[in-house]
């Protein structure tokens, strides 16, 4: 298995990984303008891009996912809840769906919280062991700067449970599982994000203060001092949904 992380100009993190032996790879959270990087990396590794996945409809950058998918002839994938919301064809992914990419296995987890359509991808290198690394685009350990339309305020209705249930699925992974987040410090998608672009589940369980909070403290931490929405956010969301400017 190979695994590459690309830090983007918006402080989001993109991923390119796959099975070199069987010549297959997946591109995740591609930013518009970075498509050539993925194509060059695929050529260098002599792999075919079989899936292009966005972990949610992004609000902090223009997605390059649909364009890369078109150029390499791969399906562009989003969570199935985006059907009817996204105005162009995409391949819907369901919770617990497994995607085989040669000797790399991806288990899709629907993890609403950051946005209602958020996904985490549990990635396992079957050549090494049956337990996953994981690639998450989760936000529960940090405060959100924006709540995209349709997301709930944590602590209201099912919002709290919507955050906690997916967290439990991830926290049950092995402690050595590696976390590869969707954003790092500097992103408008979160406040208090670390500048270290990866972690392990064991480290986060031991040191992430948000994981030790009870419900009231968690809701307070998540909703206190939310900065204003970024100026370009509405235009980015509209573009990523395929709506007219």
Q: Which stretches of the chain bind Fe ion, using CB under 5 A?
A: 189
- Compute the least distance from the CB of residue 112 to Fe ion, in Å: 13
Residue 114 or 178 with smaller CB distance to Fe ion:
114
Instruction: Tell me whether residue 75 is exposed, middle or buried, using C-beta atoms within 10 angstroms of its C-beta: 0 to 12, 13 to 18, 19 or more.
Output: middle
Residue 118 or 199 with smaller CB distance to Fe ion:
118
Closest-CB residue for Fe ion?
189
Six token digits for residue 199? 């972690």
- Compute the least distance from the CB of residue 18 to Fe ion, in Å: 23
Instruction: Tell me whether residue 195 is exposed, middle or buried, using C-beta atoms within 10 angstroms of its C-beta: 0 to 12, 13 to 18, 19 or more.
Output: exposed
Q: How do 24-28 and 76-79 pair as beta strands?
A: unpaired
Residue 93 to residue 51: CA distance in whole angstroms: 11
Residue 108 to residue 110: CA distance in whole angstroms: 7
Residue 63 or 199 with smaller CB distance to Fe ion:
63
Residue 47 or 120 with smaller CB distance to Fe ion:
120
- Compute the least distance from the CB of residue 180 to Fe ion, in Å: 15
Residue 102 or 148 with smaller CB distance to Fe ion:
148
- Compute the least distance from the CB of residue 59 to Fe ion, in Å: 6
Number of H helices, E strands in the chain: 6, 12
- Compute the least distance from the CB of residue 182 to Fe ion, in Å: 6
């Amino acid at each position: 298995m190979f695994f590459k992380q690309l830090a983007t100009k918006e402080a989001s993190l993109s991923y390119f990984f796959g099975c070199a032996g069987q010549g297959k790879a997946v591109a995740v959270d591609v930013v518009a303008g970075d498509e050539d990087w993925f194509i060059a990396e695929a050529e260098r590794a002599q792999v075919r891009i079989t899936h292009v996945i966005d972990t949610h409809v992004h609000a902090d950058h223009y997605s390059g996912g649909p364009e890369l998918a078109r150029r390499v002839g791969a399906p562009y994938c989003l969570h199935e809840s985006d059907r009817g919301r996204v105005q162009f064809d995409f391949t819907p992914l369901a919770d617990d769906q497994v995607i085989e990419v040669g000797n790399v296995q991806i288990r899709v987890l629907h993890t609403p919280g950051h946005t209602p359509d958020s996904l985490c991808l549990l990635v396992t290198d079957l050549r090494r062991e049956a337990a996953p690394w994981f690639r998450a685009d989760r936000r529960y350990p940090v405060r959100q700067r924006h709540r995209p339309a349709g997301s709930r305020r944590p602590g209201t209705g099912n919002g709290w449970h919507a955050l906690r249930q997916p967290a439990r699925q991830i926290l049950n992974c092995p402690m050595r599982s590696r976390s590869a987040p969707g954003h790092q410090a500097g992103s408008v998608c979160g406040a208090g994000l670390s500048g270290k672009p990866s972690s392990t589940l064991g480290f986060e369980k031991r040191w992430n203060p948000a994981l030790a909070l009870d419900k009231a403290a968690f809701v307070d931490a998540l909703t206190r001092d939310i900065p204003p929405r970024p100026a370009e956010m509405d235009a980015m969301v509209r573009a990523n949904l395929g709506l007219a400017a």
